[in-house]
């Protein structure tokens, strides 16, 4: 029997913080990609660049690409791919901090799915965490009904599907390798991208110029303005996700997941420095509420 990997929470925490630093940096540039590329083209190109990296990693004996249960891995990957579509798509329209806050509602949705669909008891403290988390969502979404736009809900929808993917991972994909799940995710993202591009070309939607056309645009052959940002995304995301998986491999999940919230430091900081995106006071309070809810849920998960 292979030796178990020893738990090293301090090292795992540092690895997770480094992963969040990378992701908090690279995801800011999706707003630049959205100026001239499409969401679907971005997904296809990103997968096309990242999959060979995974093949090389597997060739060196650092992971297995073949799933044990194909249907489970690809079902889980489909749910996660949907979450990433909503998250990446929202980055063309909402500030980065708002998109992050929406995606990180996932632990709240995991609790609700566990309670209503898996019939698990969540307890009064977790219920309070859910209430605080949804208060945070309302604060992040906007101040008044007049300012509200349904596009602001995209990141939270992404958080819901990310939670569904997380539940599917726990319920269906135990024993699957990290590499097989990451490869499946990239393949699903590329397939969705190809279907969307073909559909948009067939039905001939008129895409607006700039970021507003990120979702309706099909394919841009003039790639000089964004190709290197897509390369940065593909390489950075592969490294970042690999570090995330490594952190969860060597550390306790309840501890490591708390360190994951360091992205709320790096992401908005890079958005302010690189993209001149300040954070309003109420939005900052909303992010704090969502972070508090997620950290509390993670802490309780580790103590029960």
- For every one of its 304 residues, what pLDDT tens digit does the chain have, with 9 covering 90 and above? 344 456 777 888 898 899 999 999 999 999 899 999 999 999 999 999 999 989 998 888 877 889 999 999 999 999 999 999 999 999 888 888 888 888 888 888 888 887 777 777 777 887 888 888 888 877 776 654 455 567 778 888 998 998 898 888 878 887 788 888 889 999 999 999 999 999 998 887 788 888 888 998 898 888 988 999 999 999 998 888 778 877 876 777 667 777 888 888 888 889 988 888 887 788 788 888 888 888 887 777 665 5
Residue 210 falls in which region: left (phi positive, over 0), alpha (psi -120 to 50) or beta: left
Q: Domain limits at 223?
A: 9-106+155-281
Nearest residue to 82 via CA among 174, 176, 153, 164: 164
Q: At what angle do helices 39-59 and 227-250 cross, to 10 degrees?
A: 50
- Could you tell me if residue 186 is inside a domain? yes
Q: Please list, residue by residue across 32-47, b when 16 or more beta carbons sit within 10 angstroms of its beta carbon and e when fewer do.
A: bbbbbbbbbbbbbbbb
> How far apart (Å, rounded) are the C-alpha atoms in residues 205 and 216?
7
Nearest residue to 177 via CA among 93, 73, 39: 73
- Could you tell me if residue 90 is inside a domain? yes
Write down the pLDDT at residue 261.
Answer: 83
- Could you tell me if residue 206 is inside a domain? yes
Q: How far is C-alpha 217 from the chain's CA centre? A: 22
- Could you tell me if residue 66 is inside a domain? yes
- Could you tell me if residue 193 is inside a domain? yes
Q: Are the beta carbons of 214 and 193 closer than 8 angstroms?
A: no
> How far apart (Å, rounded) are the C-alpha atoms in residues 87 and 79?
13
Nearest residue to 127 via CA among 116, 117, 138: 116
- Could you tell me if residue 135 is inside a domain? no
- Could you tell me if residue 118 is inside a domain? no
Number of domains in the chain: 1
Quote the pTM value.
Answer: 0.84
List C-alpha distances in Å: 289 to 73, 108, 283. 33, 12, 10
DSSP state of 153: G
- Could you tell me if residue 259 is inside a domain? yes
């Amino acid at each position: 029997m292979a030796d178990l990997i020893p738990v090293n929470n301090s090292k795992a925490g540092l690895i997770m913080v480094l992963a969040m630093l990378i992701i908090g940096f690279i995801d800011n540039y999706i707003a630049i990609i959205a100026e001239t590329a499409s969401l679907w083209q971005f997904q296809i190109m990103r997968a096309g660049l990242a999959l060979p990296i995974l093949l090389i990693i597997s060739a060196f004996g650092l992971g297995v690409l073949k799933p044990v249960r194909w249907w489970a891995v690809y079902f889980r990957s489909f749910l996660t791919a949907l979450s990433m579509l909503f998250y990446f798509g929202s980055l063309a329209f909402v500030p980065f901090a708002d998109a992050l806050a929406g995606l990180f509602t996932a632990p709240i949705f995991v609790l609700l799915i566990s309670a209503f669909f898996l019939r698990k008891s969540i307890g009064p403290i977790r219920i309070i965490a859910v209430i605080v988390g949804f208060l945070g969502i309302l604060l992040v979404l906007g101040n008044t009904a007049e300012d509200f736009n349904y596009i602001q809900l995209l990141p939270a929808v992404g958080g819901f599907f990310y939670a569904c993917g997380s539940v599917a991972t726990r319920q269906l994909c135990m024993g699957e390798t990290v590499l097989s799940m990451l490869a499946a995710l990239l393949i699903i993202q590329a397939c969705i991208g190809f279907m969307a591009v073909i559909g948009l070309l067939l039905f001939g939607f008129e895409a607006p110029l700039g970021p507003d056309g990120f979702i309706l645009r099909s394919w841009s052959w003039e790639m000089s303005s964004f190709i290197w940002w897509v390369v940065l995304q593909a390489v950075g995301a592969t490294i970042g996700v690999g570090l995330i998986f490594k952190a969860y491999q060597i550390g306790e999940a309840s501890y490591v997941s708390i360190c994951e919230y360091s992205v709320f430091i790096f992401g908005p900081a890079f958005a302010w420095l690189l993209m001149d995106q300040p954070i309003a006071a109420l939005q900052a309070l909303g992010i704090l509420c969502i972070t508090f809810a997620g950290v509390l849920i993670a802490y309780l998960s580790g103590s029960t």
